[in-house]
Structure 1
Amino acid sequence: MFWRALRRRSPWPRRFLALAARAVGVRVQIAGQPHGGDMFLLANHVSWIDILVMGGATGAAFVAHDGIARWPIVGWLAAQNNTLFVARERRGALSGQIDALRAAMLGHQPVALFPEGTTSDGSGLLPFKPSLLAVLLPPPRAVLIQPVHIDYGVTTAAIAWHGDEPAGTNAWRVLGRKGRLDVMLRFLAPFDPADCADRKVIAATARDAIAASIAQNAPDSAATQHRPSATPLPPV
């Protein structure tokens, strides 16, 4: 209520997400240049940890499937950070969800979307679902899209949550790991949605950029010997 009275976003959800990431052993580094203005982040999706990492690093509001709202702790933290929970099974609700997303974007808070719609094994990308990208055409204001590659490096396969693995089983497996978990947020070149003919072009442009980064930075790729310098996030 205090922050709403000041018409400012509370800093606590972002801090809590960052602290939660550190509590599970995650250490985040940044590669590339996060766009400083209003931004719509499109990222690959490997793990439930993605929400902690992206939220803690950027303060973004998420577009996430409504099942996350029922997750202990993570769901509550996501809700506090203005997450828009999307009912994937109710296609008739899409129009209202787009309206809600457009309203959120007008609040000058970064918005993050995992356009694959679910998690993958991290070795590549699933098809991007362009439906919610309709909110960007026409752009509600000077919003740029920035693709983000969430890169867990050599531990990707070990922490990825995909297939039929239950959420509790994955969480137990990830939390039971020894040592820290390094993750690189690779902020790729932003682009203007106004330059795209439709939402499918937006999805394809972002997907191509992230796919190229995955290929370039694969643990067994020669390109990993020439990775750009990274900046560790400061302690929360």
Structure 2
Amino acid sequence: MLMVHDLVAGYGEVQVLKGVHIHVPKGSVVSLIGSNGAGKTTTMRAVSGMLKPRAGKVVLDGKDIAGLESHEIAARGLAHSPEGRRVFPTLSVRDNLKLGAYTRFARRRARGDIEADLDRAMELFPRLRDRSAQAAGTLSGGEQQMLAIARATMMNPQMLLLDEPSMGLAPILVDEVFAIISRLRAQHVTMLLVEQFAAAALAVSDYGYVLESGRVAVEGPAFELANNDKVRAAYLGGGAAH
């Protein structure tokens, strides 16, 4: 589904990614873990077109998308729920969700039954159903995060990128977000996940990569990484679990 090969990217004169490789098979959930500044969010931005790679390949469903504009990549079936939520605060919850389907309204992706998918999103995120007419900016942080994820699913993507979905949330809402990710996984939604709670991320993943200083330091099945002594000591201790 997604193959990232020798990806190089950065900001200005700072080179953050120094040859990252990632493989996300169709129907799987893959996690990127690592310390702050390791390059996790930069990887997501380079894959989704928010940041132009300097070198390397990003292959989605057999086609190289590296360097394309983000809207072109979205039209090819990749949805990105970025770090920081970024909902449209003055629009209602329902209108935010409809904006997630903009590529379908524009006929750049198969339209399908958008109303049925709205209902499905409300079932997946029941908090949103109760607030469908409410302005997104008046939602709590946790509710805005759920809206951001639900909006990304409205594109009917081939692949979903989730960047720090639990950031800034109370523990009970973190659990709820991971329960939603587990339900998406059960529906065979292909996902690439960046998450500060490494233990929780690996628990819902099939495979994982540990980034250090812009390179993949360790990779393997999620279960093996969760039981790797070095990975546990560096990333899964203290506040990493919940």
TM-score in terms of structure 1 length:
0.38
TM-score in terms of structure 2 length:
0.37
